[in-house]
Structure 1
């Protein structure tokens, strides 16, 4: 599995395991399924694992930490996030979480990007992960918390990095404009951009990606299937796009992409998984994987040979414009 080095030295495999589903995102996942997924990822060469306290109110971190406990710590990169503190709510433990995860509501999430909040959140994550360090820490979705996130939040992470507590720091969001600001105006090393650099949404090309190239900041692309729209060979009529019903014009575009790809023997999910990595600023694509079967499928998508002629044809037709800064993937940047 090819890797790309962040400017601080941490190395991310081109495919990373996103562990939201290990926190019972939308439905229950068993402990065995979670461990099997991590084991399969390791066997496939994946060495980048991403989680957050938000995912299952800490369940994702606990499961991921347990699954990685017997792996050599220096052989993988682990990232988590801060900004959503978990506050105990024992009076609600008999209820279910109301934020998309099938877990008991024994905690509530409280936005907190203050210095103390960031430090407490990271301490809690270390305990749940069962480790003495994480490699990358992101501010988690600070969209509505600009004042704190752009000052105490990022300043605290930079302080932790400069002290050697963490290797790299950044921000993870579902938008590109604020991420671009963090890249231009703060000392971040990496940002996670969810859903804004995909086959059908390339907003990050206008702001984030040029800024990242200019500042030497790496980008991790997430949510590249856009809520499942791009996860199958053809979208269903009721397919979701960014958590809502996909508009007719978006559905039509995906069908047209599939029409072009099928004669080449390539599917839409293969294109969706690989497209972000065509840009020089992108170091890794993080995909949510609940089971070992998901790992096998996504690894195959990431490693399939997509002909350059197909990308050229999609560009010529205006369906998937070229990224502008593309270089050969395995000679243009530091890899191993």
Structure 2
């Protein structure tokens, strides 16, 4: 698996990373043996950067990931987890909870250090707290050796702009905004982040199943015209004998500015398929045809979090 350096850190990340949200049953019920096999399959495929959060399955993702990693040498994988978001409406970015959250994650994951910790979905809280309390707390934890690097994750472009203008952080993770249909992150933020040496990570190449042959979840907030364009694009790809998910994954992983793209599945067959797709060339003509279908809705997204953070 090809790797890329994450900003100014010493981390070399695979261009495709394993997202463990599915281990938390965020999309469907998952059996223990299936969860463990998925993690081991990812490692066998050289997908050795593993991303999770206490929010995924309300702790289940971290627990199952920790079980799956028992007996695997710690130097054979890199771990990223998050903090601050613990339920759909429960957010706590206080310094006290930052310290507690890191310790709980270390216990669940069965390790003595985390390679990356991200403040999770900070658009749902006033950004002043992130600047004045959360990040200073993370700096102390980094100095202790429990965390190697830290950053922020979320959806609106404004949160990245505001935080990186006021704080020194190591990396950011944006989701659903560098895809076949939405390029806002690359266009609006990547040049600025690169100029500051901040590591850039992308997640959600399939945009919560929008860019697959499977129906998206009911909770997906994208406007109906975006969903309709995605259905048309999926049907067009299918007529060409290609799964739109393949094109979506190849496109997101091809950008050299993204150190890695995080995709999640608790299905080992999917993970093997993704690795195979990345070994095949990106069909440039098919990409142009699909971009033409998405052109009327390109970069259209939705609001997320507090109004002032959008």
Provide TM-score, normalisation by structure 2.
Answer: 0.84
Secondary structure, aligned partner of 1:69 = coil
Higher relative contact order (CA 8 A, sep 6+): 2
Whether 1:212 aligns to 2:193 is yes
Aligned mate of 1:286, from 259, 262, 278: 262
Q: Report the structure, 1 or 2, having the larger helix content.
A: 2
Please say if residues 175 and 194 of structure 1, whose CA atoms lie closer than 8 Å, have aligned partners that are also in contact.
no
Mapping of 1:124-135 within 5 angstroms? 124-135=104-115
Deviation at 1:227, TM superposition (A): 1.9
Query: What does residue 4 of structure 1 align with?
Result: 4
**Higher alpha-carbon Rg:** 1
Does residue 24 (structure 1) correspond to residue 25 (structure 2)? The answer is yes
Matched residues in 2 for 1:191 and 1:249: separation? 26
Distance 1:272 1:173, change over 3 A: same
CA distance in 1, matches of 2:75, 2:228: 43
Deviation of residue 183 (structure 1)? 3.0
Q: Using the TM superposition, give the Cα deviation of residue 159 of structure 1 relative to its aligned residue in structure 2, in angstroms.
A: 3.1
RMSD value over aligned CA atoms? Answer: 2.7
Change (3 A) 1:57 1:318: closer
Alignment of 1:43-58 (within 5 A): 43-58=44-59
**Secondary structure of 1:62 counterpart:** helix
Q: Provide Cα deviations, 1:84-143, integer angstroms capped at 9, x if missing partner.
A: 35xxxxxxxxxxxx85xxxxxxxxx74221211101100011111111111000001111
Partner of 1:155, secondary structure, is: helix
Q: 1:169 — aligned with what?
A: 150
Establish whether residue 153 from structure 1 lines up as the match of residue 129 from structure 2: no
Unaligned runs of 5+ in 2: 297-310
C-alpha separation in 2, matches of 1:61 and 1:244: 26
Name the SS for the 2:147 alignment partner: coil
Per-residue deviation at 1:241? 8.3
Aligned length: 294
Per-residue Cα deviation, 1:130-176 (whole angstroms, up to 9, x for no partner): 11111000001111222211221122223333443322111111222
1:251 aligns with 2:228: yes
Q: Is the 8 A contact 2:232 2:293 kept in 1?
A: no
Distance in 2, matches of 1:59 and 1:205, equals 32
2:97 aligned residue:
117
TM-score (norm 1): 0.78
Contact kept? 2:211, 2:230, Cα under 8 Å: no
Report the equivalent of 2:116.
136
Distance 2:200 2:239 in 1: 29
Residue 179 in 1 paired to residue 160 in 2?
yes
Other structure's SS at 1:12 match: strand
Offset, 1:202: 1.8
Matched position secondary structure for 2:50? strand
CA contact (8 A) 1:52 1:80 kept: yes
The 5 Å alignment of 1:261-276 reads 263=240, 266-276=242-252
Query: Post-superposition shift, 1:318?
Result: 8.0
Q: 1:18, CA displacement in angstroms?
A: 0.7
Q: Match of 1:224?
A: 205
